[in-house]
C-alpha cells in the first residue's frame, strides 16, 4: 500500500474536501497534501473558509438535539461500531498516516490502535454519565445535579497524531451527546476525513461530526468562536496558538480545553538500572520520531551515570534505520516539513556552539525528504537554550545533576508541565520525586503514559483540562443543579 490509490482500495474513498452535514462541501480553494518522505504532492483537497465553518456549525446545531436525545446505549453502540471499523481497516489507515505525516509504519500502526481505543473506551463511558442527589444541609430540599451535553464543540487538532488527537476529542464529545466541527492540521487532513467517513458508516447521523480543513486557521476559529452556538473549544497544538485561542474564547466565554506543548524531563537517579533507563529513553524520545508532546526533551542524569548513559544511548540511537516510514525496516521517518526539520537543526547547532558534544547524529542526511539523524548531545550546559524549547525531533540533550533537589529544580525549570519521566530502582524515592515534579503526568520507570483510560493533560502552560478517562467525557458536559422539594 504505497500510494493513496492502493490505500483507498482497502479503506474506501477519502473525502476530497470538508464534510459538512454528511456531504462533501464545495469550496473555492484547494490545499496540496505533501508526502514528507518525497516532498511530492500526494493529492489536492478542497479547503473551507469561514462560510464553510458557519455552515458546519449550522449542521452541527441542527443535528445535536437528536443525537443528545438518543439513548446512551445507542450512542455507545455507534461508537463501538466505529472502533470495530477502524480496527478492521487499521493497516490502511496506518499507511494513510505514513503518507501524509511521514512517521514510521510501526508508529502509525500503534497510533491507529491507540486512536481506535478512544472510540471503544467512550463507547463504554457513554452509558456511565452519572449525576448526584444530596440532601441540602438545611434539610429543606434535595440538591439534584445532572450532567448535560455542553453544546456544539469546535475541535482543533495538530499534525503529529492525526488520528489519535481527533478520536481523543470526537469519542468523548459524541459519548456526552455533543455535535462537533473538527478542523484538522493542514499538513494532515486526510486521516481526519477518512475517520469522518468511518463514523458515518458506523451510524453517526449526518451533521453530528463535521470535518473542515480550513485555509486560514486563525480567521476560521475566530469566526466560529464568535458564534453563540459554539460552547466548547477543545484544542491540541502549540502553546503559542493555545494562548491566541484562549483570547478568542474569552470574547464569548467559551469553555476551553487546551492540550499544549511539552518539555518533558527524563530524570535518571543514581540507583537506576542503566539498561532499563536507556531502553526507556529510546522509547520516550523516539515515539513518533520525537514529534510528540510527550517526547522526553531533556535527559537529566546523575553525574555518576551521565557518561555511561550518554554513550549507551548514543550507540542505540546510531543503530536506528532512517528512511521512508512506509518501509517497515525504517524506525525513523522524516519530520513533517522543512520548517520543523530546520528548527531541529538550529537547536542542535546552538547547543554545539554552546559547548555540547555530538555523540551521534547532529545533521540532516543528504537525501530528499525532511529527515534529521537521531542525535545525542553530551555535556549540555544546565542553562543551554535547547533545554528550554520543545525540540520535536529525534534529538536528545543530556545534562547532569548532583543531588535530588538539583534534579527536581532542573526538571521543573520550564513553563511547560505536561509529563515527566523518572527512572530509579528505589520506588520510595521515585514516588517522592514524582510528587515534586510539576507536571500533569509522570512515567515512573515507564516511558509511555498515554492511555485512553487515564486523564491526559498538563500543568502550567501545557494546558487546561484533561482528555481520556472519565474526566475526558466530563469536559463535554455541563452540570445542571436542580433544587427540588419532594
For ligand NAP, the binding residues (CB under 6 A) are: 156-161, 165, 183, 185-186, 217-218, 221, 236-238, 241, 244-245, 259-262, 293, 390, 418, 458, 463
Q: What secondary structure letter does DSSP report for 270?
A: T
> Does 40 qualify as catalytic in the annotation?
no
What is the Cα–Cα distance from 177 to 353, expressed in whole angstroms? Answer: 54
> Closest approach of Cβ 250 to ligand NAP, in Å?
14
Nearer to ligand NAP, 43 or 157 (CB): 157
Q: Which residue is nearest to ligand NAP (CB)?
A: 237
- What is the number of H-type helices and E-type strands within the chain? 15, 22
H or E element in which residue 217 lies = helix 217-225
User: Which sign does the torsion angle of CA 322, 158, 22, 466 carry?
Assistant: positive
What is the Cα–Cα distance from 373 to 393, expressed in whole angstroms? Answer: 9
> Closest approach of Cβ 165 to ligand NAP, in Å?
6
Buried-exposed string 93-125: b where 16+ CB fall within 10 A, e elsewhere? bbbbbbbbbbbbbebbbbbbebbbbbbbbbbeb
> Closest approach of Cβ 261 to ligand NAP, in Å?
3
299 SS3 class: strand
User: Which sign does the torsion angle of CA 257, 456, 97, 75 carry?
Assistant: negative
Nearer to ligand NAP, 76 or 157 (CB): 157
Query: 163 near 196, Cβ under 8 Å?
Result: no
> Closest approach of Cβ 329 to ligand NAP, in Å?
27
Which listed residue (259, 390, 467, 475) is catalytic?
259
Nearer to ligand NAP, 237 or 289 (CB): 237
Query: 35 near 3, Cβ under 8 Å?
Result: no
Nearer to ligand NAP, 289 or 378 (CB): 289
> Closest approach of Cβ 176 to ligand NAP, in Å?
19
Query: 398 near 299, Cβ under 8 Å?
Result: yes
Nearer to ligand NAP, 129 or 418 (CB): 418
What is the Cα–Cα distance from 212 to 59, expressed in whole angstroms? Answer: 12
> Does 88 qualify as catalytic in the annotation?
no
Nearer to ligand NAP, 225 or 411 (CB): 225
Which listed residue (187, 293, 390, 475) is catalytic?
293
Q: Taking the CB of residue 156, how many other CB atoms lie within 10 A of it?
A: 24
> Closest approach of Cβ 295 to ligand NAP, in Å?
8
What is the Cα–Cα distance from 412 to 391, expressed in whole angstroms? Answer: 17
Cα separations in angstroms, 462 against 235, 237, 262, 429: 12, 10, 6, 26
Would you name the residues annotated as active-site residues? 259, 293
Amino acid at each position: 500500500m504505497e500510494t493513496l490509490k492502493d490505500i483507498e482500495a482497502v479503506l474506501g474513498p477519502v473525502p476530497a474536501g470538508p464534510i459538512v452535514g454528511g456531504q462533501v462541501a464545495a469550496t473555492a480553494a484547494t490545499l496540496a497534501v505533501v508526502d514528507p518522505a518525497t516532498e511530492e504532492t500526494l493529492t489536492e483537497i478542497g479547503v473551507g473558509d469561514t462560510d464553510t465553518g458557519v455552515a458546519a456549525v449550522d449542521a452541527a446545531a441542527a443535528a445535536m438535539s437528536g443525537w443528545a436525545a438518543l439513548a446512551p446505549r445507542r450512542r455507545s453502540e455507534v461508537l463501538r461500531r466505529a472502533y470495530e471499523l477502524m480496527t478492521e481497516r487499521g493497516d490502511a489507515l496506518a499507511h494513510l498516516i505514513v503518507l501524509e505525516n511521514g512517521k514510521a509504519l510501526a508508529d502509525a500502526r500503534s497510533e491507529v490502535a491507540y486512536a481506535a481505543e478512544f472510540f471503544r473506551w467512550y463507547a463504554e463511558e457513554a452509558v456511565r454519565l452519572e449525576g448526584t442527589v444530596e440532601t441540602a444541609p438545611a434539610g429543606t430540599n434535595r440538591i439534584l445535579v445532572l450532567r448535560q451535553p455542553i453544546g456544539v464543540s469546535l475541535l482543533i487538532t495538530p499534525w503529529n497524531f492525526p488520528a489519535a488527537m481527533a478520536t481523543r476529542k470526537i469519542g468523548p464529545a459524541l459519548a456526552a451527546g455533543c455535535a462537533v466541527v473538527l478542523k484538522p492540521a493542514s499538513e494532515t487532513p486526510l486521516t481526519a476525513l477518512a475517520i469522518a467517513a468511518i463514523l458515518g458508516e458506523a451510524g453517526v447521523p449526518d451533521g453530528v461530526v463535521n470535518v473542515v480543513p480550513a485555509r486560514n486557521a486563525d480567521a476560521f476559529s475566530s469566526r466560529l468562536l464568535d458564534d453563540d452556538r459554539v460552547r466548547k473549544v477543545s484544542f491540541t497544538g502549540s502553546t503559542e496558538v493555545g494562548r491566541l485561542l484562549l483570547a478568542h474564547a474569552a470574547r464569548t466565554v467559551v469553555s476551553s480545553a487546551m492540550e499544549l506543548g511539552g518539555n518533558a524531563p527524563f530524570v535518571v537517579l543514581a540507583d537506576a538500572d542503566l539498561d532499563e533507563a536507556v531502553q526507556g529513553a529510546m522509547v520516550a524520545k523516539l515515539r513518533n520520531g520525537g514529534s510528540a508532546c510527550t517526547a522526553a526533551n531533556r535527559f537529566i542524569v546523575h553525574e555518576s551515570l551521565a557518561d555511561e548513559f550518554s554513550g549507551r544511548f548514543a550507540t542505540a540511537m546510531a543503530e536506528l534505520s532512517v528512511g521512508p516510514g512506509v518501509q517497515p525496516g525504517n524506525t525513523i521517518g522524516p519530520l513533517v516539513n522543512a520548517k520543523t526539520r530546520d528548527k531541529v537543526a538550529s537547536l542542535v547547532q546552538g547547543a554545539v556552539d554552546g559547548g555540547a558534544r555530538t555523540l551521534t547524529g547532529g545533521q540532516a542526511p543528504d537525501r530528499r525528504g525532511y529527515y534529521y539523524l537521531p542525535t545525542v548531545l553530551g555535556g549540555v550546559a544546565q542553562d543551554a537554550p535547547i533545554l528550554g524549547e520543545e525540540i520535536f525531533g529525534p534529538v536528545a540533550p543530556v545534562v547532569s545533576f548532583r543531588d535530588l533537589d538539583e534534579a527536581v529544580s532542573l526538571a521543573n525549570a520550564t513553563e511547560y508541565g505536561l509529563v515527566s519521566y523518572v527512572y530509579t530502582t528505589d520506588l520510595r524515592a521515585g514516588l517522592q520525586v514524582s510528587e515534586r515534579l510539576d507536571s500533569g503526568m509522570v512515567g515512573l520507570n515507564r516511558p509511555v503514559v498515554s492511555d485512553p483510560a487515564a486523564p491526559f493533560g498538563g500543568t502550567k502552560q501545557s494546558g487546561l483540562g484533561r482528555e481520556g478517562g472519565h474526566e475526558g467525557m466530563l469536559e463535554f458536559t455541563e452540570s445542571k443543579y436542580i433544587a427540588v422539594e419532594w
